[in-house]
Amino acid sequence: MIRKILLLISSLSIILGSCATSKDKKSFSYFNNLPKDSVYVVKDAFSEEADQKLKPGDVISIRVSTLDQATNVLFNEGVFTTATNATGGNGVLQTDGYKLDSKGNVQLPLIGKLNLQGKSLEEAQGIITQKISTQAKNPIVSLKLLNAQVMVMGEVGRPGPINITDRKTSVLEAIGRAGEVTNTGKKDEVLVIRTNNGMKEHVFLNLNDIAVIGSPYYYLRQDDMVIVYPTNLKEKQVRGALRGIEITNLSFGILSSSLSLLNLYFNLRYISK
């Protein structure tokens, strides 16, 4: 009898051991296929075609410097204010600027109404500079898109919207600003979702591979979505959480029953004596 009970307890230990989750292998670094003694050269994937294009609802900052102080004040202080704020620990988004209406038009001092829809920042800057040149001599114009954002989700430290007001923002930079990939995230399985001509494009990027720098999706566009997928270990943890609780409860039940049987056996032996 004792032998049978001990065999049952031993089997229970084996079952519990087999249910333990082992840590899967994963990479903890980026571009880990690049030999240390090599120089990798790739054509920059960023191009004028990939530059951010202005659209209705965008808010742009215009800073003008001319010899006419009154002109400077008109452009640099008479601004539109929006309530949009940045989140995700990336600071507060500057909210002063000029908003493009539903048709992509913007109303500017001295110049009047301009249609900037579909124009890159560089193209819009050239158009505005040319218009101001008719009112002031040798103007210097700088343009910045204030409300450009991408969404970074999944296995990162701080999921949420990331401001990409800079002309060039890579997926690696956006992930870094979102708190980096967590220990349970896949660097070789990062999904970029992009809206292009009314269609949703889905592309997986492998940040372990140095060749990803040449991908047209490496540099992000406004409203892109970046999703870092979980490792197999994380998936097993999530899917197996309830199952693990059930197994644990069952195991304790079996152990408790085994101890009760063992106690009963010794009591019967004591009574028989």
- For residue 235, the SS3 value is helix
Q: What is the pLDDT of residues 218-272, one digit of tens each?
A: 999 888 999 999 987 765 665 655 555 666 666 666 767 666 666 666 666 666 6
For residues 77 and 84, the model is more confident at: 77
Q: Is 108 found in the same domain as 63?
A: yes
pLDDT at 9: 53
110 occurs within a structural domain? yes
**Which of 38-42, 113-117, 148-152, 186-190 is predicted with the least confidence, judged by mean pLDDT?**
38-42
What's the pLDDT band for 108 if we cut at 50, 70, 90? confident
217 occurs within a structural domain? yes
For residues 70 and 105, the model is more confident at: 105
Q: Is 74 found in the same domain as 133?
A: yes
Extract the tokens encoding 2.
Answer: 């004792």
Outline where DSSP puts E strands in the chain: 59-65, 80-81, 96-99, 105-108, 112-115, 140-145, 149-154, 160-163, 185-196, 199-205, 225-230
Nearest to 97 by CA among 86, 87, 83, 110: 83
181 occurs within a structural domain? yes
Q: Is 135 found in the same domain as 62?
A: yes
Please give the mean pLDDT across all residues of the chain: 76
Domain range for 74 is 53-145
Q: Is 140 found in the same domain as 155?
A: no
35 occurs within a structural domain? no
Q: What is the pLDDT of residues 145-159, one digit of tens each?
A: 888 889 999 999 999
Choose the final residue of a domain: 145, 178, 194: 145
Q: Is 159 found in the same domain as 140?
A: no
Structural domain count of the chain: 3
264 occurs within a structural domain? yes
